[in-house]
Amino acid sequence: MTKVFLKKKIQQRVLLGHPWIFGNEVGNVDGPVNAGDIVEVFTHQGLFVGRGYINPQSQILVRLLTRDKEEAIDAAFFHRRLQKAWDYRRKLGYVENCRLIFGEADEMPALIIDKFNDYFVLQTLALGMDRWKGAIVDALNSIFSPKGIYERNDVPVRELEGLPQQKGFLGAPFDTNIILRENGLQFNVDIENGQKTGYFLDQQDNRRAIEHIVKGADVLEAFCYTGTFSCHAGYYGAKSVLGLDISEHAVNTARRNAQLNNLEEVCQFQAVNAFDALKQWTREGKQFDVVILDPPAFTKSRENIQKAITGYKEINLRGMKLLKPGGFLVTASCTNLVPPSLFLEIIEMAAKDAKKKLRQVTFQTQSQDHPILWNIENTTYLKFLIVEVS
């Protein structure tokens, strides 16, 4: 097996548990380098670090799968890892819908698997993981006997690994429009064409957090997508809910979700540019009891981080101005490059400019089925904040 030796000066991050090894962290390579192959990694002194897959085309040269010298990377390895991840989710109470595999946090770098009851959606985002797709599908069939498995590998990041974008059935075809249950409600999920894997499971715990603040309230949700927060607000007793999203398709799904839960009289939706609406309604002096902001990621590159900061500050400032005194702002960011401390700083700057005083109600991350490893920063990506604004 090909051996990869780390440079002395920059090996500490890897030794502390991070599974990524960048090309500039490698000193010598002993043996052939074939993209996707399993290699062994050692310190500069020759001490065993772990085994992982290699890809010279990627900036991340090696992603580690195991640090156990006795553990082989084979089909049984993937079966064990999936079973371990499922056992962990069940202990936390996620028995129906969950992120079954959250990449690095489940020691399965570049693999995402979402479980929607009896259906599974997977993404293999690196060549080395894509090579084992057959073994992963076999393991899912063995452990769960699912009604269907679908791949959503229609993501640009695969091209950095020399992989094509693709999507389709990994087994017998099935109806990709399904209905899942969450917190007492039902939601339409479009596995084939919805965002990411079809549904944002990472907010399922956070959606419960609005239960008490929306009772009897007039609620605005900007960037509502398919209306999951809006429907939760209606379900929890809001007087009125207005959801905004630029996508006509998303808004139509949101309306269907409201109907599915008998909330169509309470929950209304409009296909408009949320940025423009927030700006205009601030000028018009519209007021709400609760404003919910859950926008898509504003940037995926460090070059555009300042634009993301400006964008978050702008929408949160507008959201605060649209609140009645003592109203609640519910705001989130899924931009991986904006750490929690910076996100709170942005909200503080927005409050200062809006001349508002904030009182924190709760500050949370993604739901518990998306575990966080403290030594791997990108596992903490979602920020969810509720503040009282006066």
What is the distance between the alpha carbons of residues 40 and 2, in angstroms, rounded to a whole number? 6
Q: What is the pLDDT of residue 147?
A: 98
Q: Where in the chain is the domain with CATH 3.30.750.80?
A: 75-175
Look at residues 228, 231, 203 and name the one whose alpha carbon lies nearest to residue 386. 203
pLDDT at 307: 86
Intervals of CATH 3.40.50.150 along the chain: 205-389
Choose among 126, 119, 82: nearest CA to 102. 82
Q: What is the C-alpha separation between 346 and 338, in angstroms, rounded? A: 10
Q: Report the distance separating Cα 100 and Cα 102, nearest Å.
A: 7
Place of tokens 């960048």: 22
Mean pLDDT (10-residue bins), the chain, 390 residues = 92 92 96 97 96 96 98 98 98 97 98 98 98 98 98 96 97 97 97 95 98 98 97 98 96 98 98 95 96 88 85 96 98 93 97 98 98 93 97
**CATH number of the domain located at residue range(s) 3-66 in this protein:** 2.30.130.10
pTM for the complete prediction? 0.95
Q: How far apart are CA 146 and CA 150, in angstroms?
A: 11
Rounded Cα distance, 343 and 335, in Å:
10
Where are the CATH 2.30.130.10 domain residues in the chain? 3-66
CATH of 205-389, one of 3.30.1330.10, 3.40.50.450, 3.40.50.150, 3.40.50.1110: 3.40.50.150
Q: How far is CA 260 from the centre of its chain?
A: 25
The topology under which CATH files domain 75-175 is: Transcription Regulator spoIIAA (3.30.750)
Dist CA 86 CA 95 (whole Å): 9
Cα–Cα distance, 100 to 114 (Å, whole number):
5
Q: Amino acid identity, residue 274? A: A
Give the start-end residues of each E strand in the chain. Answer: 3-6, 20-22, 26-30, 38-42, 48-54, 60-66, 97-102, 111-116, 119-124, 148-153, 166-169, 177-182, 185-190, 218-222, 240-245, 267-271, 288-293, 323-333, 358-364, 383-389
> Taking Cα atoms as reference points, which of 129, 128, 85, 87 lies closest to residue 106?
85
Task: Quote the pLDDT of residue 134.
Answer: 98
* Count of CB atoms situated within 10 Å of the CB of 4: 24
Task: Give the pairing of strands 240-245 and 218-222.
Answer: parallel
**Which ranges of the chain does DSSP label H, i.e. alpha helix?**
12-15, 75-92, 127-130, 133-144, 228-235, 248-260, 274-284, 305-321, 340-354
